């Protein structure tokens, strides 16, 4: 009996001390796991904060880069606008200077056109004057030629009249000479004393000769008269021809003067038309006054993109300390001593229970009278483990 009690005490003490050692190990493991979880949480939070800080710095750098790029684009657009406005002002000033130069050139061209018109009119007037002088000289020359021709005709008429008068006077002298010659021949015939037929023949011959001379003289006078008449007719025809030629020349001169006036008028008109055309060309060359084009719109700033700020780091849940799965030392001791206690109880009881054959053999527990402790459980007939089913589930690891 004492042996059984000692065994029970030993098993109880051994179970209690084993439970304490197991509880201490479980607590150390729980503390280690708690420390590891907290260190892992701190590390994870540091990584999250570092990633957020890095992402935030990257977004700030990207925002700064975008701002610098868009500022550069805005400044480039503004510089381009200023350059275009400068080009616009420069082109307008150039057009103004070109317009002023065209105005000056056009005014000079108009003045030149006026001077050219004056010279053209002077040339036309000088040409007209020269032509009029030429016509005047031609008219004077025609008048002088007509007068000279008229005087020549008059002189020819006088010469013809003088020749007629000379022919008449010469005829009278020749007639008187013939008459004197006849008388002389008649006196010579009488002086010879011829009588009869011979005297008569001599007288008749003398008379005939005198008559022949007289007829010849008369014929010469008549021829002179006829020649004078023909000459007078010719001179009159010539004088009439001269008159016609003179009046025709005067008519031609008058027509020439009329044509000259019309030609001079046409020259002045052509000069005026040319001057008008030159004025139109000069005015057209000036062109329209320059107008400044509309101002270019001021470039607007480019819209900046919005960058989302990284979300704040949400703190991880606090680490719940791991709780060790401990065993009550008393219960562990009882559980360890339970087989011995059960064996003692069954041994004491087995001596008082009769067997079917009349002996007191007791119950067979675990194959021996004292009971065989195996796995901390006591086997009963048709039953299950008592201490093992109660304590076994409470000694199987840790839970957080």
Tens of pLDDT, residues 203-256: 566 666 666 666 666 666 666 666 766 666 766 777 787 788 888 888 888 898
Specify the pTM. Answer: 0.48
Burial class (CB in 10 A: 0-12, 13-18, 19+), 339: buried
Residue 170 covered by a domain: yes
Report the distance separating Cα 166 and Cα 151, nearest Å.
22
Residue 1 covered by a domain: no
Q: SS3 of 399, please?
A: strand
What's the confidence (pLDDT) of residue 177? 66
Output the average pLDDT for the chain: 75
Q: Are 298 and 74 in contact (CB under 8 A)?
A: no
Residue 216 covered by a domain: yes
Residue 376 covered by a domain: no
Tens of pLDDT, residues 41-87: 899 999 999 999 999 999 999 999 999 999 999 999 999 999 999 99
Residue 77 covered by a domain: no
Long-range Cβ pairs for the range 83-90 (8 Å, 24+): 84/296, 85/295, 85/296, 88/292, 88/293, 88/295, 88/296, 89/292
Does pLDDT of 351 surpass 70? Answer: no
Residue 51 covered by a domain: no
Does pLDDT of 382 surpass 80? Answer: no
E strand or H helix that includes residue 35: helix 2-192
What's the confidence (pLDDT) of residue 78? 95
Residue 224 makes CB contacts below 8 A (sequence gap 6+) with 163, 164, 166, 167, 168, 171
What's the confidence (pLDDT) of residue 200? 61
Q: Are 127 and 264 in contact (CB under 8 A)?
A: yes
Q: Are 217 and 178 in contact (CB under 8 A)?
A: yes
Residue 145 covered by a domain: yes
Residue 371 covered by a domain: no
What's the confidence (pLDDT) of residue 97? 94
The residue range of the domain holding 252 is: 123-282
Number of domains in the chain: 1
Report the distance separating Cα 189 and Cα 203, nearest Å.
7
């Amino acid at each position: 009996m004492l042996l059984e009690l000692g065994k029970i005490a030993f098993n109880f003490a051994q179970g209690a001390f084993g439970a304490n050692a197991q509880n201490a190990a479980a607590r150390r493991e729980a503390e280690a796991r708690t420390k590891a979880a907290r260190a892992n949480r701190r590390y994870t939070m540091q990584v999250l904060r570092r990633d957020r800080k890095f992402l935030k710095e990257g977004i700030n750098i990207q925002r700064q880069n975008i701002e610098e790029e868009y500022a550069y684009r805005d400044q480039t657009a503004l510089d381009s606008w200023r350059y275009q406005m400068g080009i616009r002002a420069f082109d307008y000033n150039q057009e103004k200077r070109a317009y002023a130069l065209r105005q000056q050139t056009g005014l000079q061209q108009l003045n030149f056109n006026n001077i050219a018109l004056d010279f053209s009119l002077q040339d036309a007037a000088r040409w007209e004057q020269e032509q009029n002088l030429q016509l005047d000289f031609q008219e004077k020359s025609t008048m002088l030629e007509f007068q000279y021709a008229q005087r020549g005709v008059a002189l020819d008429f006088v010469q013809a009249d003088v020749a007629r008068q000379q022919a008449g006077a010469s005829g009278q002298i020749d007639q008187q000479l013939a008459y004197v010659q006849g008388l002389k021949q008649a006196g010579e015939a009488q002086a010879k004393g011829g009588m009869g037929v011979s005297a008569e023949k001599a007288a008749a011959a003398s008379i005939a000769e005198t008559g022949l001379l007289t007829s010849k003289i008369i014929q010469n006078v008549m021829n002179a008269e006829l020649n004078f008449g023909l000459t007078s007719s010719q001179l009159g025809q010539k004088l009439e021809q001269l008159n016609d030629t003179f009046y025709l020349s005067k008519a031609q001169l008058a027509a020439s003067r009329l044509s000259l006036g019309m030609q001079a008028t046409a020259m002045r008109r052509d000069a005026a038309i040319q001057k008008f055309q030159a004025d139109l060309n000069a005015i057209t060359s000036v062109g329209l006054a320059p107008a400044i084009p509309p101002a270019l719109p001021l470039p607007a700033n480019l819209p900046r993109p919005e960058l989302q700020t990284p979300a704040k780091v949400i703190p991880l849940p606090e680490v719940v300390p791991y709780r060790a799965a401990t065993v009550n030392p008393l219960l562990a001791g009882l559980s360890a001593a339970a087989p011995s206690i059960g064996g003692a109880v069954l041994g004491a009881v087995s001596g008082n229970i009769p067997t079917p054959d009349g002996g007191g053999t007791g119950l067979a527990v675990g194959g021996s009278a004292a009971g065989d402790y195996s796995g901390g459980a006591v086997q009963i007939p048709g039953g299950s483990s008592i201490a093992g089913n109660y304590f076994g589930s409470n000694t199987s690891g840790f839970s957080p």
